[in-house]
Amino acid sequence: MPEGGTLAGVPPPAPPGRPLVALQGVEKRYATGTLAVRGVNLDIPRGEFLSLLGPSGCGKSTLLRMIAGLIAPSSGTIDWPASPHDARGAAQPRLGFVFQEPTLLPWSSALSNAALPLKLEGMPRSEREDRAAGALARVGLAGFERTYPRALSGGMRMRVSIARALVTRPDILLMDEPFAALDEITRFRLNNDLLEIWQETGFTVVFVTHSVFESVYLSRRIAVMAARPGRIEREVGVPAPYPRGEAFRTSAEYAAVCRTVSLALGEAIAHRGAA
Amino acid sequence: MTGVDDAPRPEPVRRVLFLPAELWPRILMPILIGALSLGAWEWAVRANEVPVYILPPPSVIWAALLRDWPSLSVSLGITLQITFAALIVAAAAGLALAVLFAQSKWVELSLFPYAVVLQVTPIVAIAPLIIIWVDDIRLALLICAWIVAFFPILSNTTLGLNSVDHNLVDLFRLYRATRFQTLIFLRLPAAMPYFLSGLRISGGLALIGAIVAEFVAGTGGRASGLAYRILEAGYQLQIPRMFAALFLICLTGIAIFLALGLVQHLALRRWHESAMRKEG
Given this model, what pLDDT does residue A269 score? 82
User: pLDDT band at residue A6, thresholds of 50, 70 and 90?
Assistant: very low
Given this model, what pLDDT does residue A12 score? 47
Distance (Å) from the C-alpha of residue B257 to the closest C-alpha of chain A?
Answer: 24
Q: Which of A170, A194, A221 is the last residue of a domain?
A: A170
Given this model, what pLDDT does residue B3 score? 47
A233 found inside a domain: yes
Give pLDDT tens digits for B78-127: 999 999 999 999 999 999 999 999 888 899 899 989 888 888 888 889 99
Give pLDDT tens digits for A92-133: 889 999 999 999 999 999 999 999 999 999 999 999 999 999
Beta-carbon pairs below 8 A across chains A and B: 83
A119 found inside a domain: yes
Q: Is the Cβ pair B1, A139 closer than 8 Å?
A: yes
Count of structural domains within chain A: 2
Query: Which DSSP symbol is given to B183?
Result: I
Contact B135, B76 (CB under 8 A): no
Of the partner residues A148, A156, A197, the one whose CB lies closest to the CB of residue B270: A148
Closest CA to B1 of A166, A171, A146: A166
Percent of chain A at pLDDT > 90 equals 72
Contact B222, B144 (CB under 8 A): no
Q: Which of A170, A189, A210 is the last residue of a domain?
A: A170
Q: What is the mean pLDDT of residues A210-238?
A: 92
Q: Is the Cβ pair B1, A151 closer than 8 Å?
A: no
Given this model, what pLDDT does residue A2 score? 39
- As a whole number of angstroms, the distance between CA A220 and CA A200 comes to 16
Per-residue exposure over B50-75, b if at least 16 CB sit within 10 Å of its own CB, e if not: eeeeebbbbebbbebbeebeeebeeb
Q: What is the mean pLDDT of residues A214-228?
A: 93
- As a whole number of angstroms, the distance between CA A253 and CA A155 comes to 29
Same-domain status, A189 and A268 = yes
- As a whole number of angstroms, the distance between CA B149 and CA B209 comes to 8
CATH superfamily assigned to domain B74-269: MetI-like (1.10.3720.10)
- As a whole number of angstroms, the distance between CA A65 and CA A174 comes to 9
Same-domain status, A144 and A60 = no
Domain ranges of chain B: 74-269
Instruction: Return phi, psi of residue A71, to 5°.
Output: -130, 150
Given this model, what pLDDT does residue B18 score? 79
Q: Is the Cβ pair A107, B173 closer than 8 Å?
A: no
pLDDT < 70: residue spans in chain B: 1-13, 275-280
Given this model, what pLDDT does residue A272 score? 53
Long-range contacts (CB closer than 8 Å, 24 or more residues apart) made by B105-113: B108/B158, B112/B158
Percent of chain A at pLDDT > 70 equals 92
Q: In what order do the strands lie in the sheet with A35-45?
A: A35-45, A19-29, A75-79
Same-domain status, A46 and A165 = no
Distance (Å) from the C-alpha of residue A119 to the closest C-alpha of chain B?
Answer: 10
- As a whole number of angstroms, the distance between CA A137 and CA B165 comes to 27
- As a whole number of angstroms, the distance between CA A138 and CA A132 comes to 10
Which residues of chain B does A99 touch, with a Cβ-Cβ cutoff of 8 Å? 167, 170-171
Q: What is the mean pLDDT of residues A39-45?
A: 93
A1 found inside a domain: no
A9 found inside a domain: no
Give pLDDT tens digits for A181-206: 899 999 999 999 999 999 998 899 99
Same-domain status, A189 and A232 = yes
Q: Does A181 touch chain B (CB under 8 A)?
A: no
Q: Does A178 touch chain B (CB under 8 A)?
A: no
Given this model, what pLDDT does residue B12 score? 64
Same-domain status, A275 and A143 = no
Same-domain status, A166 and A211 = no
Closest CA to A54 of A203, A214, A205: A214
Which residues of chain A does B196 touch, with a Cβ-Cβ cutoff of 8 Å? none
SS3 for A174-197 is EEECCCCCCCHHHHHHHHHHHHHH
Same-domain status, A146 and A191 = no
Judge whether residue A81 has pLDDT over 80: yes
Give pLDDT tens digits for A249-260: 999 999 999 999
Contact B201, B157 (CB under 8 A): no
Q: Where are the beta strands (DSSP E) in B73-114?
A: none
A10 found inside a domain: no
A5 found inside a domain: no
Given this model, what pLDDT does residue B1 score? 46
Residue A176 is part of a domain; what is its CATH number? 3.40.50.300
Which residues of chain A does B274 touch, with a Cβ-Cβ cutoff of 8 Å? none
Q: Which burial class, exposed, middle or buried, applies to A205 when counting CB atoms under 10 A from its CB (0-12, 13-18, 19+)?
A: buried
A117 found inside a domain: yes
**CA dihedral (B190, B194, B195, B196) positive or negative:** positive
- As a whole number of angstroms, the distance between CA A249 and CA A16 comes to 29
ipTM: 0.88
Same-domain status, A176 and A57 = yes
Averaged pLDDT score across all residues of chain A:
89
Q: Which of A170, A195, A224 is the last residue of a domain?
A: A170
Same-domain status, A248 and A114 = no
Same-domain status, A41 and A128 = no
User: How many contiguous H segments (helices) and E segments (strands) does chain B have?
Assistant: 11, 2
Q: Is the Cβ pair A70, B173 closer than 8 Å?
A: yes
| Stronger pLDDT, A69 or A13, i.e. the higher one | A69
Q: Does A198 touch chain B (CB under 8 A)?
A: no
Helix axis angle, A184-201 to A154-166, nearest 10°? 20
Question: Range of A164's domain?
Answer: 104-170
A96 found inside a domain: no
Same-domain status, A109 and A244 = no
Distance (Å) from the C-alpha of residue B84 to the closest C-alpha of chain A?
Answer: 28
**Distances from the Cα of A84 to the Cα of A206, B85, B187, angstroms:** 20, 54, 30
